[in-house]
Amino acid sequence: MITLYHSPFSRSSRIVTLIDELGALDRVRIRDVTIRRAIPPSGERDPANPHPEGKVPLLVDGPALIRESTAILLYLTEKFPEAKLGAAPGTAERGRFLSWIAYYGSVVEPVVIFDRMEITHPFLRDSYRGMHEVLESFARALDAGPYLLGERFTAVDLLMSSTFAWYPDGLPDLKSIQDWHARCQARPAVARTVARDRAAMEAMAA
Ligand SMILES: N[C@@H](CCC(=O)N[C@@H](CS)C(=O)NCC(=O)O)C(=O)O
């Protein structure tokens, strides 16, 4: 059975939501582990977590250890294609899907962190641009449809909108992005993950 190493209210929560959206909660075991948290400083690395740096998410499928939210997301959407949360190889949509996934890991996440920490530097701007450009990309895509790939909700909406769950101040005063974020957050799987995380947090604290 596939195992997801997860810590409540962390970056692995979006993977729990993805597994739920994929209808695969009965085929992926979710193993709660502790992690070191920076803000506020708390927690410990869990020896039960095989991630080389003690981080989450980590997916283990037989001999394969898959790290990084973006890789896990690709792996799971391909493993459970019937849920249609990815884009089939060889289709035009696939190029846009892959671009969003790579853009998240290579640009969006660092930009959001620098923005939240109020860190600026010309080299960072040259390498990543900034929050303004990230939000412009979202707005451009959302001019063409309710979701980033167009008419249907996909794993890229889940991934990108999860950012604003931990950085609500990054959400711009722009109706198309606010409505899209609200649509993504209103999905029942999001509420189920929050309830699950809350119960797991309480159980770990007890
Ligand atoms: N880019 C990674 C980031 C993973 C990450 O930093 N996870 C945090 C939780 S939000 C963590 O496990 N921190 C524990 C630590 O730093 O030891 C991904 O998205 O998978």
Looking up residue 47, the CATH number of its domain turns out to be: 3.40.30.10
pLDDT on residue 39: 83
Strand partners, 58: 5, 67
139/174 Cα distance (integer angstroms): 8
pLDDT on residue 40: 85
Question: Quick check: 204 pLDDT over 90?
Answer: no
Shared-domain flag, residues 101 and 183? yes
State the CATH number of the domain containing residue 146: 1.20.1050.10
Q: How far is the CA of 30 from the centre of ligand 1 (A)?
A: 16
Residue tagged 């799971």 (tokens): 76
pLDDT on residue 152: 97
Beta carbons within 8 Å of 41's beta carbon, 6+ residues apart: none
Cβ of 8 closer than 6 Å to ligand 1, yes or no, is no
The pLDDT tens digits of the residues spanning 24-53 come to 999 999 999 999 998 889 999 999 999 999
Mutate to test the pocket of ligand 1, among 6, 44, 56, 167 (most ligand atoms within 8 A of CB): 56
Question: Quick check: 165 pLDDT over 90?
Answer: no
Q: What's the domain range around 169?
A: 92-187
123/110 Cα distance (integer angstroms): 13
pLDDT on residue 166: 83
H-type alpha helices, the chain: 13-21, 69-79, 92-103, 109-117, 122-128, 131-143, 155-166, 175-185, 188-205
